[in-house]
């Protein structure tokens, strides 16, 4: 039975927040053979359960926009590994990120999007990691912040890099240094070329960023499994 199709408001990107693994154990019945194969190659049981919950929720959410059953969502993987929807006549794009006990999924009809979510780890040596992956000017600016602010600033900057690079496509780690970052906690959004980076409301203890290749966008956060407001 075909479900009603969700239609985001004009100029809006929907960002879903999904707890994982969730209250119930999801089944692999919704997944493709490729997804099941990749799931079985994961080493830890915890990692497999989280991935299963995240991938299942992604299908359930995208099915609402496409008006089909979750199992029939036409997910494919590009050569660089990025999932995409192989549909004719649809402008729907999406980007998923998961960290710790949460997954977030951005869904857009406005063009390409990239999303990143990170759990803030106050024990991480952020100075060392920034020196490796940030431009020297950005690493130095972060080191100049009060120590109590450095972890939050680092993870904000990291999600900006990841979201933008996921949006434009291609490998992420080798290009992290090329993306300049913002360390201003007051910045709600900023432009990088023709992309706009938006700070997104994330669960407590997490930081998220959405990259959109469109201007004048409003971000709407939705908690799964709540229905989309009409």
Span 72-91, pLDDT tens digits: 999 988 877 788 898 776 78
Mean pLDDT of 64-72: 93
Tell me the pTM: 0.88
CB count, 10 Å around CB of 83?
A: 15
Which residue has 């940030």 as its token pair? 134
Which DSSP category does 32 fall into?
Answer: -
Mean pLDDT of 209-226: 91
Give yes or no for a contact between 133 and 103, defined as CB atoms under 8 angstroms apart.
Answer: no
**Radius of gyration of the chain from Cα atoms?**
18
Please tell me whether residue 189 adopts helix, strand or coil conformation: strand
Span 151-179, pLDDT tens digits: 988 999 899 989 998 998 866 655 776 77
Which residue has 């690079």 as its token pair? 165
Which residue has 């799931």 as its token pair? 39
Element (H, E) at 157: helix 147-168
Q: Which residues pair with 77 in a beta bridge?
A: 83
- Sketch out the chain's domains with CATH numbers: 12-112+215-223 (3.90.470.20), 117-212 (3.90.470)
Token pair of 60 as six digits? 């359930």
Span 102-111, pLDDT tens digits: 999 999 998 8
């Amino acid at each position: 039975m075909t479900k009603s199709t969700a239609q985001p408001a004009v100029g809006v990107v929907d960002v879903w927040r999904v707890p994982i693994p969730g209250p119930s154990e999801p089944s692999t019945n919704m997944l493709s053979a490729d997804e099941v194969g990749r799931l079985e190659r994961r080493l830890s049981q915890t990692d497999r359960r989280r991935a299963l919950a995240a991938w299942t929720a992604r299908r359930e959410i995208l099915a609402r926009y496409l008006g089909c059953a979750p199992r029939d969502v036409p997910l494919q993987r590009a050569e660089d590994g990025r999932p995409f929807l192989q549909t004719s006549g649809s402008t729907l794009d999406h980007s998923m990120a998961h960290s710790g006990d949460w997954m977030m999924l951005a869904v857009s009809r406005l063009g390409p999007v990239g999303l990143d979510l990170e759990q803030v780890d106050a024990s991480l040596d952020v100075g060392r990691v920034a020196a490796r992956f940030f431009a020297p000017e950005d690493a130095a600016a972060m080191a100049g912040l009060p120590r109590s602010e450095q972890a939050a600033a680092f993870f904000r900057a990291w999600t900006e890099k990841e979201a933008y690079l996921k949006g434009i496509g291609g490998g992420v780690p080798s290009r992290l240094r090329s993306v300049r970052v913002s360390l201003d906690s007051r910045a709600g959004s900023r432009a990088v070329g023709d992309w706009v980076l938006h700070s997104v409301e994330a669960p407590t203890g997490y930081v998220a960023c959405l990259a959109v290749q469109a201007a004048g966008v409003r971000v709407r956060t939705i908690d799964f499994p709540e229905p989309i407001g009409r």
